[in-house]
Amino acid sequence: MNLSSDVADASNPILRDSGKSRRSLCALNPQSASAFTRIDFDKPGRQIGFFHIPQSPDEDAWGTVRVPLAVLANGTGPTVALEAGNHGDEYEGQIVLGELIRNLDLSRLHGRLIVVPAINSPAVDAGRRTSPLDGLNMNRVFPGDHAGSITQQIAAFVSDEVLGRSDALLTLHSGGSSMDIARCAMVQSSSDARLTQRSLEAGQAFGAPLVMVSDALGDTRTSIAAAVAAGLTCVGAEMAGTGSVSQIALDTCRKGVVNVLRHWGVLDGPLSPTEVVAAPIYRVPGMDGFVLAPSHGVFECFHAVGDGVETGQPVGLIHSPTDPGQVPVEVRCAHAGIVFARRHPGRIQAGNLCCVVATRSD
């Protein structure tokens, strides 16, 4: 039973144009897929479980890496994929999706939610950005490889079994341990103007203080890029960071998830009150928006997230405490705008991100 509607409705804010049948997004080694789950994706009701990736390390000959997976389904409607924990040190989304899995009243649901609340479960358990098993960044391996390392196999399963069944994706992030970032909805730009517009509308519905449009510098290895390439309506979220849990970001995330699901017609009820009526839209102006460290030392940032900056303005100093005779290195921005994100730890290496500057585009 396909829980998605079989009738394409041009007014529906979620439906992709390419049809709604399940398809494979990961073309790498499909014959080598060994992941398995006891979850029945087509069964109505609430199912909470795992999918498993077999592994055989020194300490566990016939074990698996298990990744939490839930399917919530009721009636006829769209299928929405929701994921968090793509980076293990980004916590608000993990909390919110756990709450959704446990507490959602299924009578309010019209369709299906496929929820992966800790997609990079080894990194989540370790509180790290990357997996301790293979050192890979989950959000740089999509659409994955069924015969690859653990992280690549997880991405391949999600690409084929989760995104391949879905009409839309909601992916939840934060700045993690290395960044403080503005609370925002994130939209991946696409060559398909209609798809970009649907995603922008979902981003506005999320209700964060701003909407950020990005092409991720052309990187196609993120979950949202893979989903956009497959024609799914997509929106992400960035919620504060610094390796901690922000109450204000958590509140924004809770409301935002419900609002997007209501906007997409998969959940009953009006949109929750948010901080803004129509969030301003910003873009990162390519490489000019990324201020990178020219040397190592201790970074003193002059600005808070949200502060305005002008072209060529100093954004901070890099100090060399072990060489006190050395004059601090001044770091300047190449573009005017607002500070969208800034480095959190004081220690910095050459090439590390100092801050990101974004410009208004609406």
- Model confidence at 301: pLDDT above 70: yes
Confidence category of residue 15, pLDDT binned at 50, 70, 90: low
Please write down the HEC assignment for all residues of the chain: CCCCCCCCCCCCCCCCCCCCCCCCCCCCCHHHCCCEECCCCCCCEEEEEEEEEEECCCCCCCEEEEEEEEEEEECCCCEEEEECCCCCCCCHHHHHHHHHHHHCCHHHECEEEEEECCCCHHHHHHCCCCCCCCCCCHHHCCCCCCCCCHHHHHHHHHHHHHHHHCCEEEEEECCCCCEEEEEEEEEECCCCHHHHHHHHHHHHHHCCCEEEEECHHHCCCCHHHHHHHCCCEEEEEEEEECCCCCHHHHHHHHHHHHHHHHHCCCECCCCCCCCCCCCCEEECCHHHHEEECCCCEEEEECCCCCCEECCCCEEEEEECCCCCCCCCEEEECCCCEEEEEEECCCEECCCCEEEEEEEECC
Query: Rounded to whole angstroms, what are the CA distances from 359 to 33, 207, 336, 342, 344?
Result: 43, 19, 7, 15, 21
Q: Which residues contact 251 (CB under 8 A, 6 or more apart)?
A: none
The whole-number pLDDT of residue 21 equals: 55
200 shares its domain with 327: no
pLDDT at 7 over 50: no
45/110 same-domain check: yes
pTM metric for this prediction: 0.90
Specify if 91 maps to a domain: yes
22 or 238: which carries more pLDDT confidence? 238
Task: Among 227, 251, 283, give the residue marking a domain's end.
Answer: 283
pLDDT at 274: 60
Same structural domain, 47 and 139: yes
How many domains are there within the chain?
2
**In this structure, are 77 and 191 located in the same domain?**
yes
End position of a domain, from candidates 266, 283, 300:
283
The average pLDDT across 246-275 equals 88
Radius of gyration of the chain, Cα coordinates, nearest whole angstrom? 21
Q: What is the CATH number of the domain that holds 156?
A: 3.40.630.10
Mean pLDDT for the stretch of residues 234-248: 91
pLDDT digits (tens, 9 = 90+) for 132-174: 999 999 999 999 999 999 999 999 999 999 999 999 999 999 9
Tell me, yes or no, whether 201 and 344 share the same domain: no
* In-domain check, residue 238: yes
The CA distances from residue 51 to 29, 83, 87, 218, 332, in Å, are 19, 14, 18, 30, 47
Say which residues have a Cβ less than 8 Å from residue 348's Cβ, sequence separation at least 6: 293, 296, 297, 298, 299, 318, 354
- Is residue 21 situated within a structural domain? no
Last residue of a domain, one of 283, 300, 320: 283
Same domain, 61 and 185: yes
Confirm whether 172 is domain-assigned: yes
Highest mean pLDDT among 112-121, 189-198, 216-225: 112-121
Same domain? For 150 and 191 the reply is yes
Residues 94 and 160 in one domain: yes
Q: Do 215 and 102 sit in the same domain of this protein?
A: yes
Same domain (yes/no): 265, 290:
no
150 and 178 fall within a common domain: yes
Q: Which residues pair with 68 in a beta bridge?
A: 50
- Examine residue 14 and state whether it is found in any structural domain, yes or no: no
The answer to the question of residue 193 being in a domain is yes
Residue 13 lies in a domain: no
pLDDT surpasses 90 at 31 = no
CB neighbours of 22 closer than 8 A, spacing ≥ 6?
164, 165
Domain annotation covers residue 17: no
CB 212 within 8 A of CB 282: yes
> Which CATH number do you get for residue 335?
2.40.50.100
Domain around 351: 286-360
Do 292 and 264 sit in the same domain of this protein? Answer: no
Residue 4 has pLDDT above 50, yes or no: no
